[in-house]
Amino acid sequence: MVMGIIRLILALEVLIYHLPNNSYFDYIGMNGSIIVNGFFIISGFFIALVINEKYFKKEGKSYFLFITNRFLKLYPAYFITLIFAIIVSIIGFLIINNWIFLQSYFDQNLNIYSLLIFCFANISMIGINTISFFSVNPITGQLFFTGTPESNAINFIFITQAWAVSIELIFYFIAPFILRKKISILVGLLVSSFFLRVLLYYFGFSDNPWRDRFFPTELVFFMLGAVVYKIYKVYNLKNFINSGNVLLYIVPLINIAFIFFYQYFPDKTFLYFSIKEWIFYGLLTISLPIMFLLSNNMKKIDRFTAELSYPIFLSQVVILNLVAIFINFNVHDNIAKTLTIILTVLFSLIITKCLMDPIEKIRQKRIEKTRLDKK
């Protein structure tokens, strides 16, 4: 269940990051972008595993099944959260005369093309990361490329943190074509993506949206997970990890401790990068095979905690704005933050049990049916 717990911890860390002052009772935790990159590393490992072991390598319908199954996993919870965001916006208008997530649409006149693009991105999740590179012309309402931290088009996206999900979707579309390749190909992609990141930082593109919303440079994190999966399989690390060496199991614990105490560690930079940040990426990467094998012993609990992390990640800002309608954070800061965390977890539990669990059964049946058809 370790894999699920680490995802849940990371989702809660993102929640703390989104709270006012990015803290909870003086606990700051980790930067949201770093946490998302951690999710990408885990995703790289897991997607490499399912593509190589769960879906048929030569089955013509394999690609369609993989893509639609991933979409089934991500979209329903997103759609419910999107509807909830609209409801919260209406409540905000009725109580405090603020449309919350819809406010930008009332403050800015959009031309028809911009409006259609925003509607498509909000409804489909596709392209939200790309939206982050654009702004809206205040006179014509037309989208134009800016690529700076001041780019404001993201204000028209209801679930703004879903930029990370849209990057996941890009990875899913290309994953079946690259994750079955030799490890040398994956390492080549990893190095290329990292080198491009260094190049962009060198030329001054080290802030958002270039920092964490440009897929070619985010690919390095997916590849870290994918490469460690290949090493795990090629060198048969399963037997080595299961050999009973207790020291190996300390690695995930060190990783979890590093997350909790991240804010207290000193930091230095090297090649424009935070050394502390990349130590986290390294610890998480080498922990993945160990956490995966430990999770296999308690699959139900691990799956539940892993599933719970996704709606927590999606809904936290919506819940935060809902609480802010009724409670002044400046006056009742810790009470409002605690209520936000509790309501986010409760909302996510309902989404997980009532929506994601039944859909997961459908997803597994689709895979099983394909296997039976193959036989």
Tell me whether residue 375 is in a domain: no
pLDDT grade, residue 270 (50/70/90)?
Answer: confident
C-alpha distances in Å from residue 124, one per residue of 9, 15, 54, 194? 27, 23, 26, 29
3-class SS of residue 27 = strand
Tell me whether residue 333 is in a domain: yes
Tell me whether residue 195 is in a domain: yes
| Domains identified in the chain, total number | 1
Question: Considering only CA atoms, which of 117, 85, 115, 81 is closest in space to residue 102?
Answer: 85
Instruction: Kindly report the average pLDDT of the chain as a whole number.
Output: 91
The predicted model scores a pTM of 0.94
pLDDT grade, residue 1 (50/70/90)?
Answer: low
Containing structural domain, residue 278: 2-368
Q: Please tell me the distance from the alpha carbon of residue 197 to that of residue 18, in angstroms, as a whole number.
A: 25
Q: Please tell me the distance from the alpha carbon of residue 346 to that of residue 175, in angstroms, as a whole number.
A: 33
Question: Over the stretch 326-341, which tens digit does the pLDDT of each residue have?
Answer: 999 988 889 999 999 9
Report whether 84 contacts 92 (CB < 8 A).
Answer: no
Tell me whether residue 103 is in a domain: yes
Question: Over the stretch 279-316, which tens digit does the pLDDT of each residue have?
Answer: 999 999 999 988 888 776 667 788 889 899 999 999 99
Tell me whether residue 374 is in a domain: no
210 phi and psi angles, rounded to 5 deg? -70, -30
Tell me whether residue 185 is in a domain: yes
Sign of CA dihedral 73, 76, 80, 86: positive
Question: Over the stretch 161-183, which tens digit does the pLDDT of each residue have?
Answer: 999 999 999 999 999 999 999 99
Question: Over the stretch 178-237, which tens digit does the pLDDT of each residue have?
Answer: 999 999 999 999 999 999 999 999 999 999 999 999 999 999 999 999 999 999 888 777
Tell me whether residue 37 is in a domain: yes
